Amino acid sequence: MSQGKTRNQWVETGFELFAHEGHEGLQVERLARILNRNKSGFYHYFGTMENYIGALMRHLTKQADIVVTETRKANEFDPGFLNVMVNQSIIILATMQLVRNRNVPLFTETFRQVTHKIDQALLPLWVTHIGITNNPDLALRYFEIVRDMFFSRITSTMLNYEYLHNLAREARTIVLELNQDGAGTKNPE
C-alpha cells in the first residue's frame, strides 16, 4: 500500500470521526485500532495531534470545493442545495463541529474559509429562495443567522431533506411575513 494512500486513510477516518464527535473523538490509539494500523504510522505521517488536526482542516477546506461545485449545478435552493447538504452530510457535520468548537482559533479560521467558499456559490440560490433579490448583502446577513442557528440545532440524525426543507420554508416565511407587514422596508431609527 502506498504511503499516500495510507496517509489518506488516516485523514479520511479522522475526518469522519471529527464530523460525528468533534476533536474530542480523535485519539491516536482509537484511530490506529479502527484502521488496524500501528500508532507509529500516525506519528510517521503527522508527528503530533496538532499537525493531524491541521491536516483534517485542510481536508475540510478541500472538501468544501465539492459542495461549491454541486451547489453551482443546483438551480434552486430547495430542493437543489438542500439535497447537496444531505449528499455531503459529512462535510456539513464537520463544519458544524467548527461552530461548536469556535474557541479553537484554527477551527474559527477554517470555518471562515469554508463558509466563504460555499456562500459565494449559494448566495444566488438563497436570494431567490427568500425573495430578497434586490439586496444580496442583507440576504447574506440573514443567511448567516439562519446558518448559525442551523449548526446549533443539527445532529447527524436530523440532517435529512425533510428537516432542511422545513427550516428553509420557515426562513422564507419569516421574510414574507416581514414584507407583508411592511417591517422589512421601514428604518427603525
Q: What angle do CA 24, 113, 172 make, to 5 degrees?
A: 95
- pLDDT in the model for residue 146: 95
pLDDT digits 0-9 by tens, 69-121: 999 999 999 999 999 999 999 999 999 999 999 999 999 999 999 999 999 99
User: Has domain 3-181 been given CATH number 1.10.357.10?
Assistant: yes
> Packing angle between helix 49-73 and helix 89-100, nearest 10 degrees?
130
**What residue segments make up the domains of the chain, in order of their start?**
3-181
Distance (Å) of CA 156 to CA 21, 66, 115: 10, 19, 19
pLDDT digits 0-9 by tens, 146-189: 999 999 889 899 999 999 999 999 999 999 999 887 654 444 44
Q: Specify the pTM.
A: 0.88
The answer to whether the CB of 148 falls within 8 A of the CB of 142 is: no
pLDDT digits 0-9 by tens, 125-147: 999 999 999 999 999 999 999 99
Give yes or no for a cis peptide into 79 (omega within 30° of 0): yes
The answer to whether the CB of 23 falls within 8 A of the CB of 101 is: yes
- pLDDT in the model for residue 180: 84
Cα separation, 116 vs 72, whole angstroms: 14
